[in-house]
Amino acid sequence: MDAPYLIEMRSITKRFPGVVALDNVNLKVRKGEIHFIVGENGAGKSTLIKILSGIHPYGSYSGDIVFDGQVRHFHGIKNSVECGIVTINQEFALFPDLTVYENIFIGHEVTNINGIVDWNETKRLAKHYLDMVGLDVDINDLVGTLGVGKQQLVEIAKALSQNVKLLILDEPTAALNDVDSDNLLKLILELKKKGITSIMISHKLKEVQKIADSITILRDGKTICRMERDEIDEHTIIRHMVGREINNIYPKRPKYEGGEVVLETSHLNAFDKKKNRFVVIDSNIKVRKGEVVGIAGLMGAGRTELARTIFGNSAHYKVTGSVFIRGHRVELSHPKKAIELGLAYVSEDRKGNGLILSENVSNNLTITALEKISNYGFLNFLEQAIQSEGYVKKLGIKTPSIYQTVQNLSGGNQQKVQIGKCLFSEPEILILDEPTRGIDVGAKYEIYTLINKMVEQGKSILLISSELPEILGMCDRIYVLAEGVQTAEFNVEEATPEEIMKKATI
Amino acid sequence: MKKINPVQKYFLSIMSSFITRIRDYGMYIALAIIFFVFSITTEGRFLGPINFTNLLNQAAYVAVLAVGMTLVIVTRQIDLSVGFLGAFLGAFLVVNIENFGNNLGKIFITIFGPTTGQNIIQFFNDHSFWLIILIVLIAVVLTVAVGLLKGFLVSVANVPSFVVTLAMMFIFKGLLMYTTRNTTIPTSNAFFQSIGIGYLPTFKIGNYNGVALILGALLILLVIALSTIRYFKNIRNGVKVEDPSLFVTKLIFTIAILAFLTYTLAAFRGISYLLLITIFVVFVYHILTTKTVIGRKIYAVGSNPEAAELSGINVKQIITVVFISMGILSLFAGLMFVARTQNASPQHGVGWEMYAIASCYIGGTSANGGVGKVINSAIGAITIIGLTNGMALAGINANLEPIILGSVLVLSVIFDIYTRNVRPIDLVGMYYAKNKYRNEYLQAKKEYKEARKALKEAIEEGNTKKINVLEFELTKKQGEFNRFRELIRSAKEEDFLEVIK
């Protein structure tokens, strides 16, 4: 393959306050290739894509983008789209309340010479593009009523309608089931035949092996290497991605001895009134004292929803069934009550609803139990400072001071603040929802050590994670969810990744 | 390297502190400019004892509303009903205290029959103290009920607060007209008289109001004592403190302002009850927002409602409490207004809510929630009323007032947005860093300029290949230049301790 490079990103360096997100990164993609960018979370993949699509505008980084043989300055998405670079993010840029054809042409409507939208032509073209992506839906359907897989195809149809030359897909299959994923990969190959170049970000190495022509591996904001199709090999990729052997990243803990049940759900159902479907179906889980129980499942399996239901954060759910804490049936109508009963929840979305980013470390740590640092409703600032300092030390939070604003901390330290905040209410049972998402390996290890320490103190952990090795490495027992239904229960000794995946994709 | 001389250092650190905290000082700058301009155009009358006392009394009800509105905006809500709610409650008080028998008194007749009812009415008419207590209590109950209703509609029924309070605005406008029967009802009741136009009883010290002088002096001593104690306490606890020279400068500034206020008030009639109520409200709410659990919760809800909910804070409850507090302060404002004007009128209440909201924004309350200080909002109210008052005094066409107010509001919000991410700056550190990196910086700058020139020439030539290479060169040089600029910009005095010693 010696086709010329369609896109060349040279020595891209991008700094965020306090961190170098990309350090002299190079990316080369030939015309008509399917190129994968792989790397761990936080390796800089998304940042690179954001630079390429103009979200981080020209001037905010150093280095060059050469597209089609010309240096380009993208000041915004508009510029990159004009060149034919279209990015499809994990979060779709679709309007759920508009129809399929309106969505496809939003922003570049088909108009007649008077500037009036030509709906007949729009519909004809929409049908044409839908055929191209092989999507068989009525163009008058509202996008919100389509499934995720179909929505993705609408996104691709939209890209095609923008004369796409380079299609960028950020983890396109993360939210898709196997059938939809396969279809999507086939479509990408189909588009390749039509001369469309693709860049994909993916964590699924099987996919990479299946369709990649070349890959670039990033680690810690640096380009590690570029591999051609015939060099691609799963083990090499993993080695480059991680940069070290992946043994012993889960600290050991004595084998679980058993104990009383502290948390139990019985025939717990939750109906999401907004999505108009059940998100938790007949959940029966048990968590014992000093035990780490894992909840495995794919995206959309209802893991977070289960956690939220147990925690009482279920304003738009209709909940039936019961939750028992230490053998007593409890009515968990609000997180406040759950916290009083000794529950704590570490949110999977630490920036969205886990922390108050604009507040300082100390205020975040103490927010769950203000009565501990106040007398008769008046805050005791000295007590607050002492307590916060204690938690900062105990959890090893790296911050210049307890008065540092949380948004200036690194992901790992933010996560520790979130865990500290939950520990502050002195819980017995912690629900950790993706506690290691988006943090580096070192910080992960510290979080795992923390989990073990908590377990040692007799606390119980319900660990939700998308990373199977983490589930297998940290848990004593594992429940598998699929589409809201509990499909399996394993003791960790019996569980294998393949078994769990099989149960998760039922 | 040469050590910086003390005088220069003093001014540089003052400038650093000022620039770093420009956001907090913005409103004071605006206030100072407005006061300065009006002082000149009115030949000093604007800041004279009579007018300034008057200005504070005029601003009182807006300040009280702005304090409550701050919390509403902090929790990401809005309350458009406060104007007519306040005016209605004011009218409710006036009408019933002036003429109990023809209004609420009728209820007693309905309940207890004519004879007992008449006796009850007679009792209250004879004992106006109990009448006032009764009517105020009823007004409070009414206000709390309204607050509960608003809180319920906003947080439980999920109706946007804009709509809920817009509807309430119409309802209270109607109730105001209904209560006053569309006529202006004057009152001469001593209760309203003393609140509205009364001043703290006093004695004379020379030509000045003694009570004001003494209270002012006490306040100044208190400020000196408290800030000094806190300063040394911080040193003892190892909290980083500012340079002593800076601390003293700020203290002297504060004392000067307080001394001016004391003098101005003492030179006329002293401290009015309106001012006293306002100070009381601001003080209570300042403590509430900065030093209590409920305050912490209010700001948490405003900064991130979902995170607050997951932290065990009942968001619905907090929002309801905030609306109830807003109602109570509307009652205060309504009472203050009818007391000052000595009448209840269907004309009252128009635009109060807009003044209150504008005061909050001028005072730096963030429209995105989570940020805002009640003291700043109260001072925002003084700024707004200062504009009105000053223009009237200077004889400027009154029709210009809304135009100028609107401009000030927009400017202050633009200022707020642009100063949101101001980074701390240390000019002393920059001074040292500039000396240290001068050569490297100038070199990088020179190379960057050359690279830019070379690229420009290549573009004129139209040599694509050369352009590509030079583009690359340029971004590299630009990166280098930015690195040095950044190095100097973020320098701190502590980094150069060895030089200082």
Could you read off the pLDDT of B54-82 as tens digits, one per residue? 999 999 999 999 999 999 999 999 999 99
Mutate one of A367, A378, A381, A433 to test the B interface: name it (highest B CB count within 10 A): A367
- The answer to whether residue B102 is domain-embedded is yes
Q: Is residue B3 part of a domain?
A: no
The number of beta carbons lying within 10 Å of the beta carbon of residue B465 is 9
Contacts of A313 in chain B (CB under 8 A): 309-310
Chain B residues near residue A417 by CB distance under 8 angstroms: none
* B281, B241: one domain: no
Q: How many domains does chain B have?
A: 3
Q: Is A369 exposed, middle or buried (0-12, 13-18, 19+ CB in 10 A)?
A: buried
- The residue out of B238, B271, B304 marking a domain boundary is B271
Considering B229, B256, B271, which residue would you say is the last residue of a domain? Answer: B271
Here the CATH number for the domain that contains residue B111 is: 1.10.3470
Element (DSSP H or E) covering residue A130: helix A119-133
Q: What percent of chain A has pLDDT over 70?
A: 95
Q: Using a CB–CB cutoff of 8 Å, tell me whether A13 touches chain B.
A: yes
Residues B169 and B58 placed together within one structural domain of the fold: yes
Of B311, B370, B482, the CB nearest to A367: B311
**Closest CB from B314, B370, B476 relative to A336:** B314
The beta-strand segments (E) located in B262-397 are: 343-344
- Of residues A62, A71, A338, nearest to B468 (C-beta): A71
Supply the pLDDT for residue A445. Answer: 85
CA A10 – CA A25 distance, rounded (Å): 7
- CA angle at A386 for the pair A385 and A389, rounded to the nearest 5°: 80
What pLDDT score does A451 carry?
93
Quote the CA–CA distance of A3 and A5 in Å, as a whole number: 7
Task: Give pLDDT tens digits for B404-458.
Answer: 889 989 998 888 888 877 778 888 888 888 888 888 889 988 998 998 888 888 8
Interface test with A, best of B230, B288, B309, B311 (most A CBs within 10 A): B311
CA angle in degrees (0–180, nearest 5) for A92-A95-A96: 100
What local confidence, expressed as pLDDT, does residue A1 receive? 42
* Domain end residue (candidates: B387, B418, B449): B418
Compute the nearest-CA separation of A71 from chain B (Å): 6
Of residues A114 and A17, the one with the higher pLDDT is: A114
Quickly state the pLDDT bin for B220 (edges 50, 70, 90): very high
Tokens encoding B55: 């200005």
Instruction: Give A-chain residues touching B303 at CB under 8 angstroms.
Output: 356-359
Q: Are residues B444 and B481 in the same domain?
A: yes
C-alpha span between A446 and A427 (Å, rounded): 20
Higher pLDDT, A120 or A175: A120
Closest in A69, A70, A421 to B311, CB measured: A421
Å between A31 CA and nearest CA of chain B:
19
Determine how many CB atoms are found less than 10 A away from the CB of residue B249: 16
Residue B11 within a domain? no
Chain A residue with the nearest C-alpha to that of B234: A382
Q: Do B353 and B238 reside in the same domain of the chain?
A: no
Considering the domain architecture, whether residues B323 and B240 belong to the same structural domain is answered as: no
Q: Which long-range contacts (CB under 8 A, 24 or more apart) does A92-98 make?
A: A92/A151, A92/A152, A92/A155, A93/A155, A94/A143, A94/A151, A94/A154, A94/A155, A94/A158, A95/A143, A96/A142, A96/A143, A96/A144, A97/A142, A97/A143, A97/A144, A98/A142, A98/A143
The first and second tokens of residue A352, run together, are 């969205």
Together in a domain, B148 and B225: no
By Cβ distance, the residue of A338, A359, A371 closest to B303 is A359
Quote the CA–CA distance of A184 and B129 in Å, as a whole number. 81
Question: Which of B299, B307, B472 shows the shortest C-beta gap to A353?
Answer: B307
Classify residue B488: in a domain, yes or no: yes
Average pLDDT (A55-83) is 86
CB contacts, 8 Å: A351 with chain B: none
pLDDT above 90 for A431: yes
Q: What is the pLDDT of residue A337?
A: 92
Instruction: Show residues of chain A in contact with B299, CB under 8 Å.
Output: 359
Query: Which residues from chain B sit within 8 angstroms of residue A380, using beta carbons?
Result: none
pLDDT in tens, B86-99: 999 999 999 999 88
Residues A49-58: what's their mean pLDDT?
A: 89
A-B Cβ pairs (cutoff 8 Å, strict): 96
Instruction: Count CB neighbours of B215 within 10 A.
Output: 18
What per-residue confidence (pLDDT) applies to B499? Answer: 67
Q: Is residue B7 part of a domain?
A: no
State whether B59 and B172 are in the same domain. Answer: yes
Report residue B389: phi and psi, to 5°: -60, -45
Query: Which chain A residue has the Cα nearest residue B483?
Result: A15
Asked, for residue B13, whether it belongs to a domain, the answer is: no
Q: In sequence order, what are the residues at sequence separation of 6 or more whose Cβ sits closer than 8 angstroms to the Cβ of residue A296?
A: A303, A465, A468, A471, A478, A479, A480, A481, A500, A504
B45: pLDDT strictly greater than 50 = yes
Tell me the pLDDT band of A286, cut-offs 50, 70 and 90: very high
Total residues belonging to chain B: 501
Pairing relationship of beta strands B208-209 and B204-205 according to DSSP bridges = antiparallel
Q: Could you tell me how many residues make up chain A? A: 506
Domain of residue B389, residue span: 22-197+272-418
A273: chain B residues, CB-CB within 8 Å: none
B294 domain residue, yes or no = yes
Chain B residues within an 8 Å CB radius of A368: 311-312
* pLDDT (0 to 100) of residue B430: 87
> Tens digit of pLDDT for each residue in A135-173?
888 889 898 888 878 888 999 999 999 889 999 998 887
* Residue A269 neighbours by CB under 8 Å, 6+ apart: A278, A280, A281, A282, A283, A319, A320, A321
Is residue B53 located within the same domain as residue B29? yes
ipTM of the prediction: 0.82
Q: Are B331 and B139 in contact (CB under 8 A)?
A: yes
Q: What is the pLDDT of residue A243?
A: 66
Are B310 and A345 inside 8 Å of each other by CB?
Answer: yes
As a whole number of Å, the CA-based R_g of chain A is 25
* Domain shared by B159 and B289, yes or no: yes
Q: Does A425 touch chain B (CB under 8 A)?
A: yes
Residues B297 and B238 in one domain: no
Spell out the domains of chain A, with CATH numbers in brackets.
Answer: 5-242 (3.40.50.300), 248-342+428-506 (3.40.50.300), 350-426 (no CATH)
pLDDT at B298 over 90: yes
The answer to whether A336 contacts B471, with C-beta atoms less than 8 Å apart, is no
Residues B465-491 have pLDDT tens digits of: 777 788 778 877 887 888 888 888 888
**Per-residue model confidence (pLDDT) at position A506:** 62
Q: Are residues B170 and B220 in the same domain?
A: no
Angle in degrees, 0-180, between the axes of helices B273-291 and B293-303, rounded to the nearest 10:
70
For residue A440, pLDDT beyond 90: no
What are the DSSP calls for B385-426, one per residue? HHHHHHHHHTT--GGGHHHHHHHHHHHHHHHHHHTTTPPP--
Identify the pLDDT of residue B186.
Answer: 92
Judge if B65 and B117 occupy the same domain. Answer: yes
CB A315 within 8 A of CB A271: no
How many angstroms separate the Cα of A15 from the Cα of each of A83, A404, B440, B486?
A: 26, 20, 21, 12
Cα atoms in the 13 Å half-sphere on the side-chain side of B253: 9
Nearest CA in chain A to B240: A401
CA of B480: which chain A residue's CA is closest? A62
Q: Is residue B319 part of a domain?
A: yes
User: CA B183 to CA B77: how far, in whole Å?
Assistant: 34
pLDDT of residue B163: 97
Q: A178-226: per-residue pLDDT in tens? A: 778 888 899 999 999 988 999 998 877 778 888 999 999 988 788 988 8
